[in-house]
Amino acid sequence: MKQEFQTEFPQEIESFFYQKIKKGTQSIVINFYIEFKKPLAANIKLEKIYFHNQESPVQEITPKDFKSSFLQSNKKEDLIMDKNPAKEYGNKAPVVQKSKFDLKSNEAVLEYTKDGKTLFYKISNVLEKPLR
């Protein structure tokens, strides 16, 4: 299903970026932040962020700052490799997650509701900020 993107967000966005946090040896948490110049209007509700083939609900930090978190796992499944293909029968095919949107690695989509209507806004040139 092809979604139509809004060309402008109804309120001025000050910045958007993401930060990676290593969580043990097997996974990384990506926190995606959106910061507004003024508190978000009452008739606008941020719903989800689509980023790196994942989706996550948006959480309010302050009336001007919002965050969405994504988990990336580095864990590899054990594969049975054998010269006899019959012994490899138990191997599972990789699960490929297909996003709702066709996005580049530096793009995200913000799903929001305005006056009860669901809308989508495409964010380009998302930068990674190192942790301080």
What's the CA gap between 99 and 127, in Å, rounded?
20
For the stretch 26-50, pLDDT in tens is: 788 999 999 999 999 999 999 999 9
Q: Which domain holds residue 114?
A: 5-73+98-124
Cβ atoms of 116 and 6 within 8 Å: the answer is: no
43 falls within a domain:
yes
Calculate the CA 30 to chain-centre distance.
8
79 falls within a domain:
no
Cα–Cα–Cα angle for 71, 95, 107, rounded to 5 degrees: 50
92 falls within a domain:
no
For the stretch 65-123, pLDDT in tens is: 999 999 877 666 666 777 887 777 777 766 656 667 888 889 999 999 999 999 999 99
55 falls within a domain:
yes
86 falls within a domain:
no
Please count the structural domains in the chain.
Answer: 1
Cβ atoms of 29 and 69 within 8 Å: the answer is: yes
pTM (2 d.p.): 0.78
63 falls within a domain:
yes
90 falls within a domain:
no
CATH number of the domain where residue 114 is located: 2.60.40
